[in-house]
Structure 1
Amino acid sequence: MLMMGSFAIIPYNNRTESPLLELSNSLDDFTYTKLVQSSTHSRSSTHGKLAHSHMLKTGHTPRLFLHNTLMNMYLKCNEPDLALQLFDEMPERNIVSWNSLISGYTQLGQYVNAKQVFREARIKNVNVSKYTYASMLSVCARTRDLELGKVVHGLIIISGVGVDAFLSNPLVGMYSKCGRVDQARVVFDKCDGLDDVSWNSMVAGYAKDGLHNEMVRILVKMHRSGVRFGSYVLGSVLNACCMNFESCLTWGKLLHACSVRLGWDLDVIVGTALLDMYGKIGELNDALLVFNLLRDKNVVMYNAMIAGLLRGEDVNDVNDELVKKSLDLFVSMQRRGLRPSEFTFSTMIKACIAFQDLEYGKQIHTHVIKNNLRYDEYIGSALVEFYSSWRLMNDALTCFDSSNKQDVVIWTSMIAGHAQNGDYERALVLFCELLSFGVKPDEFTVSSVLSACANLGGVRSGEQVQSYSVKTGVIASNVVVNSLVYMYAKSGDIDSANRMFEVADKLDVVSWSVMICSAAYHGCAKEALTIFGLMISGGIRPNDVAFLGVLTACSHAGLVEEGFRCYETMKKNYGITPTEKHSACIVDLFGRAGRLSDAESFIISSDFSHAPVMWRCLLSSCRTHKNMDIGKRVAERLIKLDPQASSSYVLLYNIYNDAGMEPQATKVRDLMTNRRIKKEPGLSWIEVGNQVHSFLVGDKSHPQSAKIYEKLDEVLEKIKKIGYVDAKKSKNNSSCVTVNHHSEKLAVILGLISLPASAPVRVMKNLRVCQDCHTVMKLISKVENREIILRDPIRFHRFRYGACSCGDYW
């Protein structure tokens, strides 16, 4: 590349230069202008640069018009640096020069540079034209710079150029996009020469701000003024009708009728907006009618229809028939020869999640690979979610590794997938990798990792995530606050959960529900009921989760009448249909109170008489109250309903064993052996520092195993002195050793020898705590003067000063 003056000369080709450069004499301005303009039209600067170089080589001095043409060419060919260099070297400039540079920067999206050039023009007292003002208003609209927009508006008034339609339209657009639709209306009302764009901009402004009544009024006024609706304005209004406002369906159908009368109903923009509107407000039959009438269907229309069929608060709420229709549409799209977009594939993968169709999802994945879209972040995220829903984490990891990992969405899906499948430690590791990768987590990422901390019981890790959320500002999100409340509550730190709840700026139904459930699982029944009362008095309508928390609280506290009354209120006053979980709470409520016959009658009369969880709750109560007759009958029924569930056999075995009926207990154990049913091993874990330590019964794999067992023997001797009856006196020696070495005891001992004396010992367990361990924990808390918090699948037990928060009612 040869250099001539300040500009580069581009070789015409590899062998010869352009004939233009072989000319020794300069051409006239007219010829140069035509050559430069040809480059402008083709968006290729090659010939324009050759012409410019020839001017420099022959010493031709271009006039101002040619200079402006050259600068415009460089801007249109996306070479703003050369345009600015030329602008700086021009011996003279006029308003066209300044306006071309501002307009060029605006079109290239270099808004900061456009603003800077405008300020320089003002400093040099350049009398800019209305074209310059229009460009600057566009910049202010796109950057949401209201202050500069007001300055430009003031300059327009002072300059006396007049606010006609040419400037009123960008003014209306600027104020609307900056959130000042009231100011936009003032400009609109003062403008004499309103055109279609003016009306459409005003309608779109009201639609964007959700001022639907004003939007409708201006639409009516527009119609009465004789202005013909365009597809753009109809599309904007129809999109606004998707929002949740009064009579949205009525207005939507009225606009649909108008579009039919005006002949716009088959327009691509209007047709797609109609599909989107009917889909979002749940009128799927109307959406299908519109879809079937559209002749030249494109990918966007198919996407809108598929999304409408699958739309819901949760993809899993969509019924199978709608999911099947969406899958059929996907097939129809391909038969028409239309190539699905990234949005199509990501939506269809979510449909496969809802339809629980693994094979179809794999076929979609094959199409993704065939269309070379496996690197797309949103498709990758959907695939990760799809394989995670089937617990195929290796396949999910393959999809994750195939992406470029620059988008936080796919990281969030991967973290959430591990958390939902119980691999909480891996979820935390992924979060650390995300940070080291330079990707900034959003509120959903933080919420997912806090969920992992909650289920792991990792309060220290949760505190670190909270510190990060404060530092980055995502803690302002209700999603993060609610997750923090849940994390602290499920990790056993109910006091920190209460503090998070109290300092929250905005409390929604999720916030209240999480707090009610937290109090319930910690055995704070009165607090749970008080929070529930405050929620209702505050005008928050309780959801099914809030009622589940209240029912759980009543069950754990033995408040039978209050609990049953709450159950009836949920159905009658709030129209919430009880789920299996709500009904199981009532069974547990009756069962804990010893009303086993009432519990059995409730199950039989409910809609969940075939649900194993209902009978399992009753069987557990039969063991607690040592009711052999009902227990045996319930166990036999439960084993028929769920013959592979080990918990049913274990409960029946324990009922016989507690009653001293060893032959019957042996038969149950032999039945488990014959059916190859294995009892789920008890697993307990504790977080010490930044590490989680896990234990099985009789576990000796821990590095501090010798020290743990030595301390355990020491503690057992201490509690014997204050009344603990050793298991040896009621069981054979091998059983005694097993009970004494239960996993939760080993985890608690590690906490005693590893944590500061002032720190509570928090232990999590996957199975319900046994009677002996419950007794031992109370006594350890007394002789060691330590607070012990033990979480099992049912509830929290908080041991202090020789007593438990459950009041031995568990």
Structure 2
Amino acid sequence: MLLQGKPTKIRSLSNIVNVTRTLTPSIQEVERPSSSLDDRFETLPPCELGNSLDDVTYTKLVQSSMHLGCSVHGKLVQSHMVKTGYNPGLFLHNTLLNMYLKCNESDMALQLFDEMAERNVVSWNSLISGYTRLGLYSNAKEIFCKARIANIDINKFTFASMLSICAQTSDLKLGKVVHGLLMSSGIGVAAFLTNPLVAMYSKCGRVDQARVAFDQCDGLDDVSWNSMIAGYVKAGLHDEMLQVLVKMHRYGVRFSSYVLGSVLSACCLNFDRSLVWGKLLHSCSVKLGWDLDVVVGTALLDMYAKIGDLDDAVSTFSVLNDKNVVMYNAMISGLLRGEENSDEYAKKALNLFAEMQRHGLRPSEFTFSTIIKACIACKDFEYGKQIHGLVCKNNLQSDEYIGSMLVEMYSMWSSTDDALSCFDSTCKQDIVIWTSMIVGHAQNGEYERALVLFCKLLSSGLKPDEFTISTMLSACANLAAARSGEQIQSYSIKTGIIESGVVRNSLIYMYAKSGDIDSANQTFKAADKSDVVSWSVMICSTAHHGCAKEALSLFELMISSGIAPNDVAFLGVLTACSHGGLVEEGLRDHGIAPTEKHCACIADLYGRAGRLSDAKTFIMDSGFSHAPIMWRTLLSSCRIHKNTEIGKHVAKRLIELEPQASSSYVLLYNIYNDARMEEAATEIRDLMSNRRIKKEPGLSWIEVGNRVNSFLVGDKCHPQSEKIYAKLDDLLQEIKKIGYVDELEKDEVNHHSEKLAVSFGLIGLAPSAPLRVMKNLRVCRDCHTVIKLISKVEKREIVVRDPIRFHRFRDGSCSCGDYW
């Protein structure tokens, strides 16, 4: 049936006649969407249904259809007029036009408009305002141009609609044209037209022109003042906003909740003004009785929370009646902004969330993302998992903001698989959640998975920002994957991100930690402007590579360049002095308060130089005698200098501080083992076994062919295992010819992970390429000797990085000078 179910599109008035003649529906056959409209039809005499009705009846029927938002009966009325040959007047035509537009049938409205024999300004305005309401701004602009061409005497309603369209589309050029036509029309600029003028100029970024229109207005109303204030708020011109507010008060215009809310929100953006103006406006709102209003109360709460005045925020929150979700959100997010006692504030935020639940309020997406942040702040993993359950219950797990916070939460607690699951369930994976996922893996030491995710990010078409690039360069640094780092550097150059200081510093760090100190130095020198981070990274890198004098020279150059050193730079200097045996230079007073790490370096400086008693005295007097790192440093020095007596006492102290740390037991075991005290060594091993303390396995890795290859001691899992062991056996035979003596004669030592990695590198890399091997534990003396001799017989540069420093082997010697 015609107009039943999905309405048939009627292209013209002639089509209406054809459809009517073909289907000839009666009023009773049409599906009835509303009893009130049906009643109007039922009151008509049966004899009149086949004849024309009068203009008033037709108009009322069309208006009823329009008010109901349903065009079915309106189309039927129009069909009836066509069938009976009734010629509607202009008013009825305009009513039909409005009906189609309000029922979202813009095509039908335009067809009716085109076939109207007579049109007035109301017809044109109806079409323009209808298109504006439907968001069809281009169509509205086109109709306006046609009205101008047709010499229609447009009125203030036309101008108001066009100014609104220009504001919505930020079309300043057309807005100025409309403003010019308005001024030349002689209509006059009353408040009715001033308000859209102010809004148009404000939204187009010309708040100065908005102020001119505001000042020239014949009569301002509340909306005018609010529009002008909103314009200044949007432009960030808070002083001008406050001037208008004062002027408004002097003119006796009553503040509305909207204007007070806007001004209070702006106060949050200007901290200097917030303390004075915010409290002044609070007093004003109390006087006017607006302080308990939802809009004003929420704005006050948000203002106090954002400026850090949590006491006033809590007071404001407590007096508000009928608290809604927005108020709770403002209070919870405000508590999480507190810098001091963040753990305490985070717990208060969790309590507020529980209170919100008890009151039956349904949390929003913002509520969940904020409360997950609170769980992160107070490290409450169990509560966080419960919140995740609520997120799933409310079917919000696909929200990108919630997903990003869940990824951060699970990554923080090393649950990267759960983080990845949250990431996969998020519909809109923007750069923020990708970065959270990549950073989470990198922070948990899963650098290879971070690289895989980064490649997927690039293939998704999203562009990583400087923070993501910096994270990936750090991941490459920890993997010593210089080739992958170079590819990321190329991408940074191509996209221009390389100009960022953060990226350039990460690039220096990547090259240095991958064992390529020369490339790190070149990157540092190529920087247009080096900041304190650049200098500090370069000094520390040079120190860890055993270039003590170069590190000290860089430090002096940094000071002469006017850059004030930070704690990291001083740490680099002390490390350089420690590794280089420069005791006097390291003990020089630089006028800073030493941290725990600084003191550990000084203890190491004494210990490496053989001044074990001085090191012990320094530790006792440093104020950090409770720190395990201090005693671990001294214990390591005791092993170097084979001082069993002091080593035994230091180990006892260290085991008391860290009873479950395997490194203390291993160091003491090695001290006894080196001193041929087999019984004491066995006791330590038994003690570890009884306490169920497991030694961290030695792991070495090397990048070959864009792949990081890892090895454990005696590892035979590699696909080229037979070739690796055959190569290692050949190497051991070759170095024995030039003086190497295998004193231990144990396969376990001969098959240490770093030896396997070096052998694989010699097989897989080109003869001219240097070998860069990374290790999670310190290099043992036998491996150090073997790799020195391999560098000589193979005529290759071999760089080995352990947790303490770099060893650069060339032609049978090491950069550490055997002082390590």
Equivalence for 1:456: 479
Contact 2:211/2:228 (8 A) holds in 1: yes
Three-state SS of the structure 2 residue aligned to 1:264 is coil
Q: Residues 511, 687 of structure 1: CA spacing in aligned structure 2 closer, same or farther, 3 A cutoff?
A: same
Inter-CA distance 308–617: structure 2 relative to 1 (3 Å threshold)? farther
- Which one of 391, 398, 405 corresponds to residue 414 of structure 2? 391
Contact 1:278 1:286 in 2 (8 A): yes
1:564-585: CA deviation from partner (whole Å, max 9, x where unpaired): 778753x4xxxxxx76545544
Report the alpha carbon displacement of residue 69 of structure 1 after superposing the two structures with TM. 4.3
1:296 partnered with 2:296: no
Tell whether the 8 Å contact from 1:551 to 1:567 is kept in structure 2 after alignment: no
**Cα distance between partner residues in 2 of 1:631 and 1:788:** 32
Q: Does the CA contact (< 8 Å) of 2:199 and 2:231 recur in 1?
A: yes
Q: Find 2:678's aligned residue among 662, 668, 674.
A: 662
Q: Take 2:555 and 2:59, find their aligned partners in 1: how far apart are those partners?
A: 78
SS state of the match for residue 774, structure 2?
strand
- 1:609 maps to amino acid: S
1:246 partner SS: helix
Equivalent residue runs for 1:214-233 within 5 Å: 214-233=240-259
Measured in 2, the distance between the counterparts of 1:152 and 1:521 equals 69
Cα 1:90/1:326, change in 2 over 3 Å: same
Shift of 1:363: 2.4
Task: Say if 1:290 and 1:760 are closer, same or farther in 2 by CA, change over 3 A.
Answer: farther
Q: What is the 5 A alignment of 1:632-671?
A: 632-671=648-687
Q: Which of residues 747, 750, 758 is equivalent to 1:740?
A: 750
**Preserved CA contact (<8 Å) 1:547 1:566:** no
Aligned counterparts of 1:519 and 1:126: Cα–Cα separation in 2: 80
What are the residue-to-residue correspondences of 1:30-45 with 2, within 5 Å? Answer: 30-45=56-71
- Which of 631, 639, 643 is the equivalent residue of 2:647? 631
- Of the structure 1 ranges 552-561 and 532-541, higher mean CA displacement relative to structure 2 is found in 532-541
Q: 1:25-68 deviations in whole A, cap 9, x for unaligned?
A: 45555444444444544444444454455556656555555555
Quick check: 1:381–1:410 contact (8 Å CA) kept in 2? yes
Q: Distance in 2 between matches of 1:381 and 1:500?
A: 34
Summarize the alignment of residues 164-313 of structure 1 with structure 2, pairs less than 5 Å apart.
164-243=190-269, 245-246=271-272, 248-311=274-337
**Residue matched to 1:574:** none
**RMSD of equivalent CA atoms:** 4.3
Cα pair distance change 1:389/1:167, threshold 3 Å: same
State the shift of 1:353 in Å: 1.9
Match of 1:791 in 2: 801
How far, CA to CA, are the matches of 1:14 and 1:402 in structure 2? Answer: 52
Asked whether 1:341 is paired with 2:357, we answer no
Contact 2:268 2:274 in 1 (8 A): yes
Q: 2:700 aligns with which of 667, 684, 692?
A: 684
Cα shift readout 1:402-451 (whole Å, capped 9, x = no counterpart): 43354444444333332222222223333444555666655555555454
1:681 Cα deviation after fit: 1.0
Q: Which has the larger radius of gyration?
A: 2
**Identity percentage over the alignment?**
73
**Structure 2 vs 1, CA of residues 477 and 239 (structure 1 numbering), >3 Å: closer, same or farther?**
farther
Counterpart contact for 2:740–2:786, Cα < 8 Å: no
Task: Give the letter for the 2:11 counterpart.
Answer: S
- Aligned to 1:327, the other structure's residue is in SS state helix
Provide the C-alpha distance between the structure 2 equivalents of 1:438 and 1:633, rounded to a whole number of angstroms: 60
Q: Is the 8 A contact 2:399 2:428 kept in 1?
A: no
Aligned counterpart, 2:777: 767
| CA separation of 1:12 and 1:263: change in aligned 2, threshold 3 A | farther
Distance (Å, rounded) in 1 between the aligned partners of 2:574 and 2:122: 75
- Relative to structure 1, the CA distance from residue 125 to residue 544 in structure 2 (aligned partners, 3 Å threshold; closer, same or farther) is farther
If the length of structure 1 is used for normalisation, what is the TM-score?
Answer: 0.84
Q: Which residue of 2 aligns with 1:673?
A: 689
**C-alpha contact 2:271 2:307 (8 A) present in aligned 1:** no
Measured in 2, the distance between the counterparts of 1:54 and 1:741 equals 99
Distance 1:489 1:695 in 2: 22
Distance in 2, Cα, partners of 1:144 & 1:568: 58
C-alpha distance in structure 1 between counterparts of 2:394 and 2:413, whole Å: 24
TM-score by length of 2: 0.83
Q: 1:115 to 1:666 in 2, by over 3 A?
A: farther
SS in 2 for 1:678: coil
| Aligned position for 2:728 | 712
Once the 2 structures are TM-superposed, how far is the Cα of residue 328 of structure 1 from its aligned partner? 1.2
Segments of 5+ residues of structure 2 without an aligned counterpart are 3-7, 33-37
State the partner residue of 2:5: none
Q: CA deviation at 1:679?
A: 1.1
**In structure 1, C-alpha distance between the alignment counterparts of 2:530 and 2:188, rounded to whole Å:** 50
Stretch moving more, 97-106 or 227-236: 97-106
Instruction: Determine the structure 1 residue equivalent to 2:427.
Output: 404
Instruction: Name the CA distance, whole Å, in 2 between partners of 1:477 and 1:121.
Output: 53
SS of corresponding position for 1:695: strand
8 Å Cα contact 1:610-1:641 kept in structure 2: yes
Whether contact under 8 Å (1:4, 1:57) holds in the other structure is no
In structure 2, C-alpha distance between the alignment counterparts of 1:140 and 1:503, rounded to whole Å: 49
Indicate conservation of the 8 Å contact 2:398/2:428, yes or no: no
**Distance of aligned partners of 1:797 and 1:250 in 2 relative to their CA distance in 1, 3 Å threshold:** farther
Name the structure 2 match of 1:575: none
Counterpart residue identity of residue 229, structure 1: F
Distance verdict in 2 for CA 1:296–1:628, change over 3 Å: same
Which is worse superposed, 609-618 or 503-512? Answer: 503-512
Amino acid corresponding to residue 272 of structure 2 in structure 1: E
Which whole-Å CA distance do the structure 1 matches of 2:707 and 2:726 have between them?
A: 22
Deviation at residue 651 of structure 1 after TM alignment: 1.4
Contact 2:260 2:296 in 1 (8 A): yes
Task: Give the total of aligned pairs.
Answer: 794
- For 2:121 and 2:195, the matched residues in 1 are separated by 22
AA matched with 2:702: I
Cα distance, 1:670–1:257 mapped onto 2, change above 3 Å: same
Residue deviations 1:58-116, cap 9 Å, x none?
56555555555445444444454555555555556555455444444444445555556
Match of 1:621 in 2: 637
Distance change (3 Å), C-alpha of 1:485 and 1:227: farther
Q: What's the counterpart of residue 377 of structure 1?
A: 400
Alignment equivalent of 1:356, drawn from 373, 379, 390: 379
1:367 maps to what in 2?
Answer: 390
d(CA) in 2 for partners of 1:676 and 1:402?
40
Contact 1:4/1:56 (8 A) holds in 2: no
Could you tell me whether the CA contact under 8 Å between 2:375 and 2:383 is conserved in 1?
Answer: yes
Question: Separation in 2 of the partners of 1:145 and 1:521?
Answer: 59
Shift of 1:725: 2.7
Distance in 1 (alpha carbons) for counterparts of 2:274 and 2:565: 26
Secondary structure of 2:272's match?
coil
- In the alignment, the residues of structure 2 paired with residue 204 and residue 187 of structure 1 have an alpha-carbon distance, to the nearest angstrom, of 15
Instruction: Decide which of 740, 745, 764 is 1:725's aligned counterpart.
Output: 740
Deviations 1:302-346 (A, max 9, x none): 111111111257xxx753321221111111112222122121122
Once the 2 structures are TM-superposed, how far is the Cα of residue 588 of structure 1 from its aligned partner?
Answer: 4.0
Deviation track 1:688-744 (CA, whole Å, cap 9, x = no partner) reads 3332211112222212222223333444455556x5634x1x32x11xx33333222
Contact 1:311 1:318 in 2 (8 A): no
Deviation at residue 639 of structure 1 after TM alignment: 1.0
- Once residues 95 and 499 of structure 2 are traced to their aligned partners in structure 1, the CA distance between those partners, rounded to angstroms, is 51
On the 8 A contact 1:406/1:439 being kept in 2, the answer is no
Q: Which amino acid aligns with 1:619?
A: L
Q: Provide closer, same or farther for how the CA distance between residues 502 and 356 of structure 1 changes in structure 2, counting only shifts above 3 A.
A: same
Distance 1:197 1:694, change over 3 A: same
- Contact 1:551 1:566 survives alignment (8 Å): no
Alpha-carbon separation, structure 1, partners of 2:415 and 2:599: 32
Alpha-carbon distance between aligned partners in 2 of 1:13 and 1:719, rounded to the nearest angstrom: 107
